[in-house]
A and B are shown apart, each in its own frame.
Chain A
Amino acid sequence: MKLHCVSLWLLGTILMLCSVDNHGLRRCLISTDMHHIEESFQEIKRAIQAKDTFPNVTILSTLETLQIIKPLDVCCVTKNLLAFYVDRVFKDHQEPNPKILRKISSIANSFLYMQKTLRQCQEQRQCHCRQEATNVTRVIHDNYDQLEVRSAAIKSLGELDIFLAWIAKNHEVTSSA
Chain B
Amino acid sequence: MQTFTMVLEEIWTSLFMWFFYALIPCLLTDEVAILPAPQNLSVLSTNMKHLLMWSPVIVPGETVYYSVEYQGEYESLYASHIWIPSSWCSLTEGPECDVTDDITATVPYNLRVRATLGSQTSAWSILKHPFNRNSTILTPPGMEITKDGFHLVIELDDLGPQFEFLVAYWRREPGAEEHVKMVRSGGIPVHLETMEPGAAYCVKAQAFVKAIGRYSAFSQTECVEVQGEAIPLVLALFAFVGFMLILVVVPLFVWKMGRLLQYSCCPVVVLPDTLKITNSPQKLISCRREEVDACATAVMSPEELLRAWIS
Chain A residues close to B by CB (< 8 Å): 30-33, 36, 40, 86, 90-91, 98, 101-102, 105-106, 108-113, 116, 176
Q: Cβ of A31 and Cβ of B107 under 8 Å apart?
A: no
Binary interface encoding of chain B residues 171-215 relative to chain A, with 1 for a CB under 8 A from any of its CBs, else 0 = 000000000000000000000000000000000000000111100
B104 sits at the interface (CB 8 A):
yes
Whether A112 touches B213, Cβ cut-off 8 Å, given contacts A98-B85, A102-B84, is no
A33 CA to B85 CA, complexed, in Å: 23
CB of A11 to closest CB in B, whole Å: 35
- In this complex, the member of A31, A86, A176 whose beta carbon has the largest number of chain B beta carbons within 10 angstroms is A31
- Closest A-B pairs by Cβ, 7 of them: A109-B105, A31-B213, A109-B72, A33-B211, A106-B104, A108-B74, A110-B105
- List of A residues within 8 angstroms of B102 by Cβ: 102
Cα–Cα, bound, A23→B84 (Å):
38
Q: Which residue of A lies closest to B132 (CB)?
A: A113
Measured between alpha carbons, how far is A126 from B87 in the docked complex, in Å?
41
On whether the beta carbons of B107 and A113 are closer than 8 Å, the reply is: yes
Instruction: Decide yes or no: A113 and B105 within 8 Å by CB, A102-B87, A105-B72, A105-B75 being known contacts.
Output: yes
A98-B85, A109-B107, A110-B104 given as contacts; is B212 within 8 A of A31 (CB)? yes
Q: Is the CB of B211 within 8 A of A36?
A: yes
Contact of B84 among A31, A32, A101, A111 (CB under 8 A): A101
Residue of B nearest to A35 (CB): B161
Contact residues of B: prevailing secondary structure = loop
Residues of chain A with a CB closer than 8 A to B211's CB: 31-33, 36
Is the Cβ of A109 less than 8 Å from the Cβ of B73? yes
Contact between B213 and A98 (Cβ–Cβ < 8 Å)?
Answer: no
Q: List residues of chain B with CB under 8 Å of any chain A CB.
A: 72-75, 77-79, 82, 84-85, 87, 102, 104-107, 162, 210-213
* A109 in complex: contacting residue of B74, B87, B210, CB < 8 Å: B74
Bound-complex Cα distance A61 to B99 (A): 37
Q: Separation in Å of the B89 CB from the closest CB of chain A?
A: 13
CA distance A108 to B77 in the complex (A): 11
What would 26 A/B residue contacts be, using CB atoms closer than 8 Å? Answer: A31-B210, A31-B211, A31-B212, A33-B162, A36-B104, A40-B104, A86-B78, A90-B78, A91-B78, A91-B79, A98-B84, A98-B85, A101-B82, A102-B84, A102-B102, A108-B74, A109-B72, A109-B74, A109-B75, A112-B72, A112-B73, A112-B77, A112-B105, A113-B106, A113-B107, A116-B107
* Residues of the B chain whose Cβ atoms lie less than 8 Å from the Cβ of A101: 82, 84
Taking the closest CB of chain A, its distance from the CB of B197, in whole angstroms, is: 36
Chain B residues in 8 Å Cβ range of A116: 107
Contacts of A33 in B (CB 8 A): 162, 210-211
| Known contacts A33-B211, A91-B79, A106-B105, then 17 further A-B pairs from the complex at CB < 8 Å, ordered by chain A residue | A30-B210, A31-B210, A33-B162, A36-B104, A36-B211, A40-B104, A90-B78, A101-B82, A105-B74, A106-B104, A108-B75, A109-B104, A110-B105, A112-B77, A112-B107, A113-B106, A113-B107
Query: B75: which A residues are within 8 A, CB to CB?
Result: 105, 108-109
A98 to B102, CA, bound (A): 13
